[in-house]
Structure 1
Amino acid sequence: MSTALAVRLFLSSAGESNDAVIVGDINSADLTGESRRNILIPCGSSPRPASYPVTPGRYVVSAALPSGLVLTENAVAVEGQETPVDFVMTDSPYETHSWQYLMGNIEPDSVYHSPAEVPLAASVASRSIVAAAGPDDDAPGAAVDLTALATWIPDAAPTSCSFASMLALGRNGPEPQVARLIAHGEPRVLPTPAVRGEAVSPLYRFGPDGPVGAPGEPVGERQFLVVETAGSVRLVTLPLPWGTTEVEVLVNLRQSPTGSAVAVAVRDPAVGAGLAYMSQGALDMAARLFTDVEAMLYSKLQNPLAAAAGAYVLIGTDHSKGVTYWDPWLDRLADSFPRISDGAILRAVRLLRRGSPDRARARDGLIEAFDRGIPFYTLGLAWLVDGLSAFPDDPECVRRLDEARRLSWLADMREPFLILDLRQGSTR
Structure 2
Amino acid sequence: MTTGLSVIVALSLDEPDLSDGAKIVGSIYPADDSGIAHRNVLFPCGTSAPPARYEVAPGRYTVSATLPSGVVLSRDAEAHEGRDTPVTLRAAPSPYESHSWQYLMGNIEPYEAYHDGSTIPVPRSQGSRSGVWESDSIVEPGHAAWIGDPEPAGWHFAQMLTLADGLAERQAVFELAHTAPHSVAHLALGDDAARLYRFGARGPLDEEGNSTLSGPTGPRQFLVVALAGSEYVVTLPAPWGGAQIEVMVNERQSPTGSAVSVSVRDSHVGPALGYMTRGAFDAAATLVRDAETLLYAKMTNPLAAVAGAYILVGSELTEQPHRWDPWLDYLRHEFDWMSDGSLLWAMRHLRRAHSETERNAARDALVEAFDRGVPVFTLGLSRLIHGLSEFPDDPECAHRLDQARRLSYRVDMREPFVIVALRGRQQ
Q: TM-score, normalised by structure 1?
A: 0.90
Note if 1:116 corresponds to 2:118. yes
Alignment of 1:12-411 (within 5 A): 12-14=12-14, 16-18=16-18, 19-89=21-91, 91-119=93-121, 131=124, 134=125, 145-147=129-131, 148-172=142-166, 176-195=170-189, 198-212=191-205, 213=210, 214-291=212-289, 295=293, 298-321=296-319, 323-357=321-355, 358-411=358-411
Q: Is the 8 A contact 1:10 1:90 kept in 2?
A: no
Look up the equivalent residue of 1:282 and give its one-letter code. A
- My pick for the range that moved more, 416-425 or 13-22, is 13-22
How far off its partner does 1:326 sit? 3.2
1:324–1:6 distance in 2 versus 1, CA, 3 Å: closer
Query: Structure 1: where are the runs of 5+ without partners?
Result: 121-129, 135-141
How far off its partner does 1:187 sit? 0.8
CA distance in 1, matches of 2:49, 2:195: 27
CA distance in 1, matches of 2:254, 2:322: 42
CA distance in 2, matches of 1:44, 1:144: 33
Q: Is the 8 A contact 2:200 2:243 kept in 1?
A: yes
Query: Structure 2: where are the runs of 5+ without partners?
Result: 132-141
CA distance in 1, matches of 2:117, 2:166: 39
How far off its partner does 1:185 sit? 0.9
CA distance in 1, matches of 2:117, 2:296: 52
- My pick for the range that moved more, 142-151 or 331-340, is 142-151
- My pick for the range that moved more, 296-305 or 95-104, is 296-305
Q: Is the 8 A contact 1:296 1:310 kept in 2?
A: no
RMSD across aligned positions (CA): 2.1
CA distance in 2, matches of 1:229, 1:174: 19
How far off its partner does 1:162 sit? 0.9
1:68–1:294 distance in 2 versus 1, CA, 3 Å: closer
- My pick for the range that moved more, 236-245 or 349-358, is 349-358
Partner-residue secondary structure (3-state), 2:29: strand
CA distance in 1, matches of 2:162, 2:115: 40
Look up the equivalent residue of 1:159 and give its one-letter code. A
Q: Deviations over 1:88-120 (max 9, x none)?
A: 237222111121121111111111111114355
Q: Deviations over 1:177-207 (max 9, x none)?
A: 31111111111111121125x1111111001
How far off its partner does 1:354 sit? 1.4
How far off its partner does 1:73 sit? 1.4
How far off its partner does 1:321 sit? 2.1
How far off its partner does 1:322 sit? 5.7
Partner-residue secondary structure (3-state), 2:117: coil
Q: Deviations over 1:60-94 (max 9, x none)?
A: 21111101111111111122221111122372221
1:73–1:146 distance in 2 versus 1, CA, 3 Å: farther
Q: Is the 8 A contact 2:150 2:221 kept in 1?
A: yes
How far off its partner does 1:294 sit? 5.2
1:119–1:190 distance in 2 versus 1, CA, 3 Å: closer
Q: Deviations over 1:216-260 (max 9, x none)?
A: 212110001111123111111100101111110111111201211
1:58–1:113 distance in 2 versus 1, CA, 3 Å: same
1:217–1:352 distance in 2 versus 1, CA, 3 Å: same
1:33–1:22 distance in 2 versus 1, CA, 3 Å: same
Q: Is the 8 A contact 1:152 1:190 kept in 2?
A: yes
Q: Deviations over 1:140-196 (max 9, x none)?
A: xx6753434411110111112111111111111797431111111111111121125
Runs (4+) of structure 1 exceeding 6 A deviation are none
Q: How many residues align?
A: 408
CA distance in 2, matches of 1:224, 1:389: 29
Look up the equivalent residue of 2:111 and give its one-letter code. D
Q: Deviations over 1:259-307 (max 9, x none)?
A: 1111111111222101111111211111111126654675322211111
CA distance in 2, matches of 1:360, 1:296: 33
Q: TM-score, normalised by structure 2?
A: 0.90
